[in-house]
Structure 1
Amino acid sequence: MNLEGLEEELREKAIRLESWFKTYSKALVAYSGGVDSSLVAYFAKLALGDNAAALTLVNPTYADYELEEAERVAKFIGIRHIIIKYDSIVNPKIAENPSDRCFFCRSDLVKELVKVKEKENFDVLVDGTILDDLKDYRPGLKALKEGGVKSPLLEIGFKKEDVRALAKFLGLPNYNKPSNSCLASRIPFGERITEEKLLKIAKAELIVYSLTGAKKVRVRYHEGDIARIEVARDERRFFFNEKVMDEVYQRLKDLGFKYVTLDLWGYKSWENLSIRNKDKL
């Protein structure tokens, strides 16, 4: 791997990441198609060749358009891509949407990952957790740790800016893809998650993406079929057009939303619409 021209500290991290994988003979990457897990998949493939694989678990909280992107990037990397479908919301601890829902969801996810790991005799199961993830409320990280999932980017000290810079240097097509989260995060804690709601959210976000050109989109689902659209603060201007607003409104109404609103502040990374934090809404 030619790293000439890469900043020294980042070059050192890249070398350490490749070396990290070479301590194993077979690696399975928990792969969402985001830039973090894509970088992990890239280095797993680089270090282990055909003894590396990327596994995407498809469930109702994972949008179809995310899977399409994941497949495209996996093909670019050249890594074997395993896709398995399972129904996450049959678990009542997930469907009831408690504040620690992510822990139960990740626990179930790890069980599915471990099944493949053991069936195909992989040495190690890895994910794309980075230092930035430790700053947010993420109970799912505990489940990953308890399940034996290793996080090489975290161990080496990668921040999001490192991941994006290295991914760009290596030519990964999703190096600038905005961070995303599962569709369940659009529903306030305490409100039941259903496949119907998740499908409606996924379709609504795809509409907003296509009509506005915004890159960071969340359609928050509120009780009473209310859609609250969030986009990055520097992308709010994409709505400063009556024709765009009218079309977004009508298309989301056609999906079954009774009210369609735009959050004037824009995207909030700290917010999962917790019923415990209504003062922040």
Structure 2
Amino acid sequence: MEHRLADRVRALGGPVAVAYSGGADSALVLAAAARVLGPEQVLAVTAVSESLADGELLAARRLADDLGVTHLTPRTHESALPGYRANGPDRCYFCKSEVLDTIAALAHEHGFETVATGTNADDAADPYRPGIRAGRERGIRTPLLDAGLTKAEVRRLSRHWSLPTWNKPATPCLASRVRYGIEVTPYRLARVDRAEAAVRTLLAEAGLQVTDLRVRDLGDRARVEVDPALVSRAAALPALGEVLAAAGFAALPHQVEPFRSGRLNTEP
């Protein structure tokens, strides 16, 4: 597994810019590139916009610093794209196009002609990944996918290398919390971000350690999704409605249900 990934990184053929979200997948690509090519041959680029959850950038910067890799954080403007704001099932295509175009242009300015992402073998098998098409159209490299690494293998190798992201829960962009067909706006994204942070704090104060947490904006209501074992206890917290209201969901009812990744992809 480790050797397969190293071979795919060498096959990149030289300096590489990594589209680096700070999640487990892109962190492993960044670490592998730094190990195989040397930190000076690697550029980490994290796109910053309203869709990036608060706190993610700081954690990403820490790891890049630990790896000795230069880390750039350009602003992206996907919210200016009608296709992104319309929030159809192809929203991720427009977002990823903006992000990758921005990263590629910045990488070129710094002498890096190759851009790689953390797309893994499981991602490629998921029918709800329009962002992957944007990468293919732009010739973006995918060393994890090329090495055949699944998410489980990404976590296993990350743990072997003592990367702090080895067990980090998936943290997709905040727009993924908004039901398709509801316009994505900076206000909605900020509201979801505030709500998730507040609910996580509330659960921790109640002694409930949550791994996966989402606050979904369903238009007419908010849905809090947590680990299945925590649903009944989270729903029973008297202050849950208060923290959601303070975050911006005051006029909407809420429900608490088990977390399921990609749930909005399969709902009408």
Per-residue deviation, residues 206-241 of structure 1 (Å, max 9, x unmatched): 1122221312111000224x221011223435516x
Q: By how many angstroms is 1:78 displaced?
A: 2.5
Aligned equivalent of 1:227, options 222, 226, 230: 222
Is 1:39–2:28 an aligned residue pair?
Answer: yes
Is 1:75–2:65 an aligned residue pair?
Answer: yes
In the other structure, the counterpart of 1:157 is: 148
For 1:246, the aligned partner's letter is P
Q: Distance in 2 between matches of 1:238 and 1:120?
A: 51
Is 1:198–2:194 an aligned residue pair?
Answer: no
Q: By how many angstroms is 1:42 displaced?
A: 0.2
Is 1:262–2:250 an aligned residue pair?
Answer: no
Q: Distance in 2 between matches of 1:84 and 1:32?
A: 12
- Trace 1:134-153 onto structure 2 (pairs within 5 A): 134-136=124-126, 137-153=128-144
The count of corresponding residues between Structure 1 and Structure 2 is 259
For 2:140, the aligned partner's letter is V
In the other structure, the counterpart of 2:212 is: 216
Q: Distance in 2 between matches of 1:29 and 1:271?
A: 28
In the other structure, the counterpart of 2:54 is: 64
Per-residue deviation, residues 149-182 of structure 1 (Å, max 9, x unmatched): 1100000110111111111111111210111211
Q: What TM-score do the two structures reach when normalised by structure 2? A: 0.91
Question: Match of 1:72, SS?
Answer: helix
Q: Distance in 2 between matches of 1:119 and 1:142?
A: 24
In the other structure, the counterpart of 2:83 is: 93
4+ aligned runs moved over 4 Å, structure 1: none
Aligned equivalent of 2:245, options 253, 264, 270: 253
> Compared with structure 1, are the counterparts of its residues 273 and 207 closer, same or farther at alpha carbon in structure 2 (3 Å cutoff)?
farther
The more displaced of 19-28 and 29-38 is 19-28
| Gap regions ≥5 residues in structure 2 | 204-208
Question: Match of 2:180, SS?
Answer: coil
CA RMSD of aligned residues (A): 1.7
Q: By how many angstroms is 1:197 displaced?
A: 0.6
Conserved? CA contact 1:208–1:214, under 8 Å: no
| Gap regions ≥5 residues in structure 1 | 1-12
Is 1:110–2:100 an aligned residue pair?
Answer: yes
Question: Match of 2:170, SS?
Answer: coil
Q: Distance in 2 between matches of 1:76 and 1:196?
A: 34
In the other structure, the counterpart of 2:206 is: none
Is 1:18–2:11 an aligned residue pair?
Answer: no
Conserved? CA contact 2:85–2:183, under 8 Å: yes
Q: Distance in 1 between matches of 2:173 and 2:28?
A: 20
Q: Distance in 1 between matches of 2:217 and 2:238?
A: 19
> Compared with structure 1, are the counterparts of its residues 208 and 76 closer, same or farther at alpha carbon in structure 2 (3 Å cutoff)?
farther
Question: Match of 1:272, SS?
Answer: helix
Question: Match of 2:261, SS?
Answer: coil
Q: Percent identity?
A: 32
Conserved? CA contact 2:53–2:193, under 8 Å: yes
In the other structure, the counterpart of 2:264 is: 272
Conserved? CA contact 2:25–2:118, under 8 Å: yes
